[in-house]
Amino acid sequence: MSAELAGLALSAMSLAASTATKLLAVKTLADAVEVNAGFACGSFDAAVSGSAKLSELGMKLAAEVSQPLLGELGKNWSKQAQLGG
């Protein structure tokens, strides 16, 4: 999970650096607006895809962590059912 977070942070920094480089080369306000709009779209896309990846990883982690607990609960419930109680 930390590798995924590091990858998302690196991607965001790369996008910001690329945008800063493009902004240094603009000659008109229209060019600056276009570069900024591209940055906004790229940031939004990265946030949505990153959120989906992190949600998926979180669900996998929760499933893995809960398996031993659910297994023990199942054993205890089976014992109680056999004892009648």
**Domain residue spans of the chain:** 2-83
Q: What is the pLDDT of residue 30?
A: 96
Residue 14 or 79, more confident: 14
Which pTM does this prediction carry? Answer: 0.65
Per-residue pLDDT, 33:
96
- pLDDT at residue 75 in the model: 82
85 pLDDT higher than 80 = no
Tens-place pLDDT, residues 5-62: 888 889 999 999 999 999 999 999 999 999 999 999 999 999 998 899 889 989 999 9
Number of H helices, E strands in the chain: 2, 0
